[in-house]
A and B are shown apart, each in its own frame.
Chain A
Amino acid sequence: MPSLNDYLLVSGLLFAIGLAGVVLRRNIIVVFMCLELMLSAANLSLVAFSRFNPINGLPDYHGQMLVFFVITVAAAEVAVGLAIIVALYRARQTVHTDDLTSLKG
């Protein structure tokens, strides 16, 4: 049976991949997917902690409850985020982040 460290290692890898994707990738849809990947990494570590932290022989369900909330919020966020990306594409004809520099100071 895998230990807590194994889960946390996978979670950390997922987070690192997600972060690298956010930082390095130029396509905004990929960036968005990488963001979701980071959320999943956080969820994984929450579930793992919950599983390996039993109270009276039962897992600590607080962590798992939080994961449900995160998934729900992430779903809502995806809806909004994709809508923004579609609107952005309609306005600028691009989803490439290098072309989106109007926030330049």
Chain B
Amino acid sequence: MNLAWILLFLPLVVTAANQLVLRKNPLVPLVSTASAIITLALSFILLGREESLAFDWATIGGFSLQIGLKLDQLSTGMMIVVTGIGALVHVFSLAYMKDDEAKNRYFTGLSLFMFSMTGIVLSGNFIMTFIFWELVGVSSYLLIGHWYQKDSAADAAKKAFLCNRVGDFGFMVGILMIWGITGSLVFEEMRLPETISSGVLGAAILCVFCGAVGKSAQLPLHVWLPDAMEGPTPVSALIHAATMVAAGVYMLFRVEVSLGAEVFDGFAGQTIAWVGGLTSLAAALMATQQDDIKRILAYSTLSQLGYMVMAVGLGGGEAGMFHLFTHAWFKALLFLGSGAVIFACHHEQDIWKMGGLLKKMPITGFTFLLGTAALIAVPFVTSGFYSKEEILAAAFAGNKFLFGIAVFVAFLTTFYMTRAFVVAFLGTPRDHGADHAHEVGPLMFVPLVILAALAIGSAWLTQPLGAIDPRVHADGHHDGHAIVLGASIASLVLGLIAGFVLYNGKDQDPLSIPLFRNRFHIDWLYDNVVVRYFQDAFASIVFFFDEILIRGLAVAGLGRAAASFGLLFRSTLNGRLTSYSFALGLGVILVIYLTVFF
């Protein structure tokens, strides 16, 4: 048995054991955590292997569906991120979910998620990707809705699932189109034909991109990600910051590797880049006016995902993957840090009710500061700086207008993260929850410290951790390196100054921009227009199909036809012997006539 199969199926076995055998056993969290740590070890063993394992799962005529694993630098490197953050989040959750009544369900969900995510990363063909893509959606649904007693959590889970379904439908169409174009679903065997209409190829790529729009929460399907913060904070760190939402970017890069970067030339790539750029801009603007610490981070995640998608669309897939790698560490750190803060402040999430936490919780505060530094890309000493630089360079080379957007987003990022840090961690406590906050225990701060080290250092660890690093191939500096560097440092300094000046020592938000606070009214639009009208219209169409066509014609119609035939012949059975014998005689004559004369 190859180690890769163990890596894939161990979490599934653990999930099944937890759910079916252990159930209420207090060992469940430990079993899940142990499995996460073992998968991390396996990922390190498998790091850098180049291998393809596959067996036929279903064969229909000449077409066969495979279950296949593909090990290469991309997938093994990604596995380090997934299992590494997964293991740390499991450890963190041991403390965070200590008093939760349903923590066994929580850890079972985490294991299911680890299985699904491993499947996406290692999958060797599109069908398997799609299966695990859906499984990830399910586990995300289960974990967002962990506190399903709260209506908001149940609604958020439903919203996430439905938004993802919308994207996944496009994804499925895209997979079928790619299959039609290349004749294969296996990544390695995909070959573009000699002549291919750029329109068809672009449409296929855009349909595949729909899947990424749903999973990576790009405009216009981004609405589920901020709401997904209703789930427990470690889940937000693992699923909605580091791994699952990055799956869209990962999948796009997998397409780029399989089909060649030139598939992102033309209108498909431009569309992808613009969607990413606009998402990053809109999300950053919304983040500047949020009060919930997790929502700030959620919008920040959206914005950074927009960066990655933009880079992929502009043909800088490696830059996108590099940013995915560094972002995973520092965003997981920020989320776990916010989780520690929320835990210490007795489940208070409003930054205006925090304050002065750096003194109360020095380790958490300092690691949060390091994560913030990486996110706002403090030059030369943080990993985020290097990856963001690559993205800005890709944007600079690809599209000057998007470069402008990206630089402005960098400024906004610095601004809202400074705001969050200043308001939550500096100043004086504004609420007794924050006043009585204590440093969290070692089960929580050890993962924070490890992640903080990686948030700063991951840019130098791309070789040992097997990450995609565009700097390896780059010969010297890009064109306009000075402009990119200058723009990013300028945006950082301006953002820091603006954030400090506006928010230092304030007890309430001096700025009020309802448009940003209300998230451009997009959620309102969905609730009041799309859901209200389109859902009803769609429901009536479905009703028509169901009631009139299927029930009325197909099911009841057949019955009614049989009944009316019966009624017709019933009238002949009048009980009169003479009419029976008459019919009999007539029948005999008819038969004789037909046999003799025809």
Residues of chain A touching chain B, judged by Cβ–Cβ distance below 8 Å, are 19, 22-26, 28, 31, 97-98, 100-105
Tell me whether chain B's interface is mostly helix, strand or loop, or mixed.
helix
Least CB separation from A20: chain B residue: B585
Task: Tell me whether B577 and A100 are in contact (CB under 8 A).
Answer: yes
Least CB separation from B569: chain A residue: A105
Task: Tell me whether B575 and A22 are in contact (CB under 8 A).
Answer: no
- Answer whether residue B512 sits at the interface, using C-beta atoms and an 8 A cutoff: no
Task: From the candidates A23, A26, A103, name the one contacting B585 in the complex (CB within 8 A).
Answer: A23
Task: Tell me whether B578 and A103 are in contact (CB under 8 A).
Answer: no
User: What are the residues of chain A within 8 A of B473 when measuring CB–CB?
Assistant: none
Identify which of B569, B570, B578 gathers the most chain A CB atoms within 10 Å of its CB. B578
Q: Number of contact residues on B: which range applies?
A: 10 to 19
Given that A103-B573, A104-B573, A105-B573 are known contacts, is A97 also in contact with B585, CB under 8 Å in the complex? no
- Answer whether residue B581 sits at the interface, using C-beta atoms and an 8 A cutoff: yes
Complex Cα spacing A5 to B389, Å = 114
Complex Cα spacing A104 to B569, Å = 12
Complex Cα spacing A87 to B576, Å = 19
Complex Cα spacing A92 to B573, Å = 21
Task: Tell me whether A101 and B585 are in contact (CB under 8 A).
Answer: no
Least CB separation from B566: chain A residue: A105
CB distance from B187 to the nearest CB of A (A): 68
User: What are the residues of chain A within 8 A of B574 when measuring CB–CB?
Assistant: 101, 104-105
List CB contacts (< 8 Å) of B188-227 with chain A: none
- Answer whether residue B545 sits at the interface, using C-beta atoms and an 8 A cutoff: no
CB-defined A-B contacts under 8 Å, sample of 17: A19-B585, A22-B581, A23-B578, A25-B578, A31-B577, A31-B581, A97-B576, A98-B576, A100-B575, A101-B575, A102-B575, A104-B573, A104-B574, A105-B569, A105-B572, A105-B573, A105-B575
User: What are the residues of chain B within 8 A of A19 when measuring CB–CB?
Assistant: 585
Complex Cα spacing A26 to B585, Å = 16
Complex Cα spacing A105 to B572, Å = 8
CB distance from A37 to the nearest CB of B (A): 14
Least CB separation from B585: chain A residue: A19
- Answer whether residue B582 sits at the interface, using C-beta atoms and an 8 A cutoff: yes
CB distance from A27 to the nearest CB of B (A): 11
User: What are the residues of chain B within 8 A of A23 when measuring CB–CB?
Assistant: 578, 581-582, 585
User: What are the residues of chain B within 8 A of A31 when measuring CB–CB?
Assistant: 577, 581
Task: Tell me whether B575 and A24 are in contact (CB under 8 A).
Answer: no
Least CB separation from B583: chain A residue: A23
Given that A19-B585, A22-B585, A23-B585 are known contacts, is A97 also in contact with B578, CB under 8 Å in the complex? yes
* A-B contacts besides A22-B578, A105-B573, 15 pairs, CB < 8 Å: A19-B585, A23-B578, A23-B581, A23-B582, A23-B585, A28-B577, A97-B577, A100-B575, A100-B577, A101-B575, A103-B575, A104-B573, A105-B569, A105-B570, A105-B575
Complex Cα spacing A25 to B582, Å = 11
Task: Tell me whether B570 and A26 are in contact (CB under 8 A).
Answer: no
Complex Cα spacing A23 to B577, Å = 8
User: What are the residues of chain A within 8 A of B578 when measuring CB–CB?
Assistant: 22-26, 97
Complex Cα spacing A22 to B569, Å = 23
Least CB separation from A105: chain B residue: B573
Complex Cα spacing A2 to B358, Å = 133
- Encode contact with A along B506-540: 1 for CB under 8 Å, 0 otherwise: 00000000000000000000000000000000000
User: What are the residues of chain B within 8 A of A101 when measuring CB–CB?
Assistant: 574-576
List CB contacts (< 8 Å) of B545-585 with chain A: 569-570, 572-578, 581-582, 585
Least CB separation from B580: chain A residue: A103
User: What are the residues of chain B within 8 A of A98 when measuring CB–CB?
Assistant: 576
Least CB separation from B582: chain A residue: A23
8 closest pairs, A vs B, by CB?
A: A105-B573, A104-B575, A101-B575, A97-B577, A23-B582, A103-B575, A105-B570, A22-B581
